[in-house]
Structure 1
Amino acid sequence: MEPRFLLLGDVATELNVSDSQVYHMVRSGELPAIKIGGRGQWRVERAKLEEYIQQKYSETATWVRDNPLTEREPD
């Protein structure tokens, strides 16, 4: 059974980005997360991560549609 909550390092591994990138995504509110414990450790719920990934797929599809690839002119 997969854990419900992930460490920021686990999220970084899942997304193949750096820990600092994930921290910035969380601190900016781009990726929903919670702070728990006396030391305020960040955790990301797996379901929220999956929602975030789906949102990024949707945003990317929109961007691709709005920015079609054009043929390069021959040299």
Structure 2
Amino acid sequence: MEARFLLLSDVATELNVTDSQVYHMVRSGELPAIKVGGRGQWRVERAKLEEYIQRKYSETADWVQQNPLIERDSD
């Protein structure tokens, strides 16, 4: 059974980015997370990570549609 909550380092591994990039995404509110325990350690719910990934796919598709690739003539 997969864990419901992920460490920020686990999220970084999943997204192939640095821990500090994930921390910034969480602190900015871009990626929903919670603080747990007496030391306030961050955790990201797996479902929220999947929603984030789907949102990024949608945003990227919109961007690609608005910014079509213009092929250059090769001389």
TM range (shorter): over 0.9
Query: How many matched pairs?
Result: 75
| Paired residue secondary structure (2:68) | coil
1:36 Cα offset (Å): 0.4
RMSD, aligned CA: 0.7
Correspondence list, 1:31-42, <5 A: 31-42=31-42
Question: Normalising by structure 2, what TM-score?
Answer: 0.97
Q: Which residue of 1 aligns with 2:11?
A: 11
Structure 1: 5+ residue stretches without partners: none
Question: Normalising by structure 1, what TM-score?
Answer: 0.97
The one-letter code of the counterpart of 1:10 is D
1:73 Cα offset (Å): 3.1
